[in-house]
Structure 1
């Protein structure tokens, strides 16, 4: 009798756990379908948001992965990446936010990265600066949404820009223009997004394939030692279109 009750209890627990997993994943898929698919036909009127601010400048130490202490001229490059990826976002937000709150409308879009969704070894500093942008955006949106101001964090994967050395586009790598058009469709639907359908699917799969436990373990192989001499070259932004073409496409949408 006692064994039968234990068996029934375990069966019920397994059923509830499975139901929770199915429901949670179904909710994610439905939200993704609404944000990235339906939004292509049912677009938000961007003009109603009034003023816009886009923080999309970003730099990294190097395109290849490198251990933290192996970065040449580390002291200077730490200051550069923190000032560009973090401090610039804070200062620009400080400048534009008071006017938006006064008008009770406005949108601030902050460009983070998939690398900021969790710690990535050998991209340590870049990952952490982009994680800062994500947390700052989410916290600020909670403060400002009741005042009519939307703060959205966009976390793309690979986009062909100066930052990625204008890499060749394919089904996984978007052009800056295509990515921006899709990302703008998500404004008003979500305050945290991968920006486009392709990147949302990639982000979902990465979360399942590379769990935090693996990224935080010593099993992750270090970069090749022979490449260390080439690492640490800072990729400097040539202009404010490093990670997307948001301002240009936004002006096109406002005119249409």
Structure 2
């Protein structure tokens, strides 16, 4: 009897061992594939090293899980590097160059435009796999870039104030809430009528406030000791009840805005 039981048990065990691979092949796994790019979801996922410096190289480094993204940017040039466990991609953008370079275990691919001409160079074992990796990393890089640029924007507030007296006192107030000064060279202030004022070699002090007057300097009573706190944007107008003011940095990215009325 015991011999028969052992035979039945052994047969059942063999059936399970033989059937298991068949069952596993029928499982539909709907989780994300390894080719899908991670989504930047919340600040707690990120370890950021941020340096803000317009006019010189602005740099942002973003670390998420096992990927590292770095953005260096000046008005005339943008360099990006994205490092992942499977590949590294570098992007260069200037007036004459738009280029992506991918290095992976399957090879290296350089693809883009130089002086209006297409460039595509490959060295390695599998071009199609490297090209596929370039496309996926390009999408991931765009998401990192969008987030990084937001981090590059200083914490600046813009306020429009209206005159309470007959004296000319139309002004826009710029508050810098950063613990470091912000260089506003080539920044632009614009109202809803299209009037613009471009700042020239001007710096907002750390945790400081600057008033931008729309009247000529001669018409405003400002002491000499306070000159560094005022800017005279003659030709602009903020006194309409539907007026808006928008501040753009040297890259043309909107930093702050305010509206009255």
- Same fold per TM (> 0.5)? no
Higher helix share: 1
TM-score range, shorter chain: under 0.3
Higher relative contact order (CA 8 A, sep 6+): 1
TM-score (norm 1): 0.22
Computing the radius of gyration over CA atoms, which structure comes out larger, 1 or 2?
2
TM-score (norm 2): 0.21
